[in-house]
Amino acid sequence: MELKRVVVTGLGALTPIGNTIPEFWDNLLNGVSGAAPITGFDTEKFKTKFACELKNFNVEDFLEKKEARKLDPFVQYAMVSTDEAVKDAGFDFTQLDTNRIGVIWGSGIGGIKTFLEEMRNFFAGDGTPRINPFFIPKMIIDIVTGHISIKYGLRGPNFATVSACASSTNAMIDAYNYIRLDMADVIITGGSEAIINEAGIGGFNAMHALSTRNDDPSTASRPFDKDRDGFVAGEGAGTIILEELEHAKARGAKIYAELVGGGMSADANHITAPHPQGLGARMVMTNALKDAGMSTADIDYINVHGTSTPLGDISETKAIVDLFGEDAYKLNISSTKSMTGHLLGAAGAVEAIASILSVQNDIVPPTINHFTDDPDFDPKLNFTFNTSQKRLVRAALSNTFGFGGHNASVIFKKYEE
């Protein structure tokens, strides 16, 4: 069968450096750091006392107080970013076949704050299980797709994907496949995460995964820098509207870019550490290029996973050099996690949005906080350090790698008739 073409017609973002797409994109290009001391709980006894929290966000500006109380923050974030994306896409759902519009969402952890609060209340009591009836519905990851479908009356494919930090990229790939196989006309896809609480920060501290640069939080996320010491936790959501090309054209939709390929692979190496030679990373990029029918010479920008961890940054760049060869030195590479922090299950969606906007606007956002070169990295690679760079971006590849060895990549290119 002839596969359908899939385009991007709407975007929404709620991030540590911007609560809307325009604000997010402007701060990305200007190299703004979202890292600051944590305000949501007392960090006195924690090894890491900072994160990339949302700024100036009040959920009651978007949702009624009674409704918001029924939702874990990771669901609240999803509803807010999706509202922006739906408006951006210009949908009038009364004029569309909502049986062919679905929702596929990703989150790595889901309602961890809800779980923490309910257990805290339980153990503070007399042992009687006085559990909030919304406990389970607030916590489970797939509840996001349920809430979005109910709000807009969408009866198409509806489920969630979970693959740690690759979750929302996997969601995008599933959405892409449903549309190009003519099983849906539109999919609302993306990811959300809300782990900046005692359980989330304490858990990642116990793994020695987080930066502990408490004296200078704004520069703590420093991918590819010699003195990087771990990732910085982030929170938020990103929503991408994927739509079948002819369906989009028929309703006169604006088109940001075309999604042309997705790849997946497994490291099969270690539950948290990447393959030292980047074999899984090389394979996932190879698979994405094959799916897109593209060569390494067709890619101008890679939004790398680039978490600012000692091992992860090295393995990913090894994979890029190994796969791209001489074409690696023609690329721009950047890690927007240097600004947003690591949004875990939402990272793929937020970084895909950065990639889409890069393709649309022919500019690459920077990798900020670079101070000292690391001899382990090829000096001929262009990491777009500290300042955004204008260039023709015909196509961008976005990488996400998750605990468990899950790898997922997507490719966006300029839309052409």
pLDDT tens-digit map of 208-246: 999 999 999 999 999 999 999 999 999 999 999 999 999
pLDDT tens-digit map of 134-190: 999 999 999 999 999 999 999 999 999 999 999 999 999 999 999 999 999 999 999
Q: Residue 287: enclosing H or E segment and its boundaries? A: helix 279-292
Tell me which of 190, 218, 250 is where a domain ends.
250
Average pLDDT value for residue range 369-398: 97
Nearest residue to 395 via CA among 415, 417, 412: 412
Instruction: Check residue 54 and give its pLDDT.
Output: 98
Segment 371-377 long-range contacts (CB within 8 Å, at least 24 positions apart): 371/219, 371/222, 371/225, 371/227, 372/225, 372/226, 372/227, 373/226, 374/224, 374/225, 374/226, 375/226, 376/314, 377/224, 377/313, 377/314, 377/317
Residues 197, 324, single domain; the answer is no
What is the percent of the chain where pLDDT is above 70?
100
Residues 64, 140, single domain; the answer is yes
Residues 13, 145, single domain; the answer is yes
Residues 279, 406, single domain; the answer is yes
Average pLDDT value for residue range 265-293: 95
Distances (CA, A) of 369 to 49, 51, 232, 339, 353: 19, 15, 13, 9, 21
Residue 3 clears pLDDT 90, i.e. is over it = yes
52 is annotated as an active-site residue: no
Q: Is residue 2 part of a domain?
A: no
Tell me which of 215, 250, 285 is where a domain ends.
250
Average pLDDT value for residue range 345-358: 98
Residue partners of 349: CB distance under 8 A and separation at least 6: 106, 168, 169, 171, 172, 189, 190, 191, 237, 238, 239, 240
- Read off the pLDDT band of 276 (50, 70, 90): confident
Residue 417 clears pLDDT 90, i.e. is over it = no
Tell me which of 222, 250, 278 is where a domain ends.
250
Residue 411 clears pLDDT 90, i.e. is over it = yes
Residues 22, 76, single domain; the answer is yes
For the residues of 86-155, what is the DSSP string, one character each? HHHHT--GGGS-GGGEEEEEE-SS-SHHHHHHHHHHHHHTTS-----TTHHHHH-TTHHHHHHHHHHT--
Instruction: Tally Cβ neighbours within 10 Å of residue 391.
Output: 16
Residues 125, 235, single domain; the answer is yes
Nearest residue to 100 via CA among 161, 178, 159: 178
d(CA 241, CA 27): 22
- Read off the pLDDT band of 31 (50, 70, 90): very high
Instruction: Check residue 394 and give its pLDDT.
Output: 98
Residues 275, 375, single domain; the answer is yes
Note down the domain range covering 137. 7-250
Residues 327, 200, single domain; the answer is no
Candidate list 38, 75, 144, 165, residue with the active-site label = 165
pLDDT tens-digit map of 200-218: 999 999 999 999 999 999 9
pLDDT tens-digit map of 39-98: 999 999 999 999 999 999 999 999 999 999 999 999 999 999 999 999 999 999 999 999
Which backbone phi and psi does 289 adopt, to 5 degrees?
-65, -40
d(CA 205, CA 222): 18
Global model pTM greater than 0.85: yes
